[in-house]
Amino acid sequence: MLENELEFKNAIDLFNDHEWYLAHDALEEIWHNTIGRERITIQAILQIAVAQVHLSNDNLKGATILYGEGLGRLKSTGIPTLGLDIENLTEIVEQRLKILQEGRDVFNVSEPKLLKR
């Protein structure tokens, strides 16, 4: 499990409050201090937060790339869920990625959320 649960809870709160850049910073710190397969899960969430930062800066190409990378990690076999509903997150990111790839407006679709299992 993660070394500092309080830091992880804070990162989740920032993510869910759509504080994407701050969530990115918090998750990056956790990612640097995490070993094992948990690192894959943290990196996926981190990449999704960065995708959201790109979207807020109208960088659709950057968002598309980071959504794709995060999604690939979320779909890795046997990644730890860290107590989160990874399936729900995966569904939202898949939907948003598809819309971006089709050149449609993603802002009418639910933003990623980290729900507890």
Could you tell me if residue 34 is inside a domain? Answer: yes
Could you tell me if residue 116 is inside a domain? Answer: no
Could you tell me if residue 112 is inside a domain? Answer: no
Across the chain, what does the average pLDDT equal?
Answer: 95
Residues 6+ apart with CB under 8 A from 30: 2, 4, 7, 8, 11, 42
pTM to 2 decimal places: 0.95
- Per-residue pLDDT, 1: 53
Where does the pLDDT of residue 25 fall: very low under 50, low under 70, confident under 90, or very high at 90 and above? very high
- Per-residue pLDDT, 107: 84
CATH number, position 21? 1.10.3450.10
Could you tell me if residue 59 is inside a domain? Answer: yes
pLDDT(92) > 60: yes
pLDDT(2) > 90: no
Q: How many domains does the chain contain in total? A: 1
Q: Give the domain extent around 82.
A: 5-106
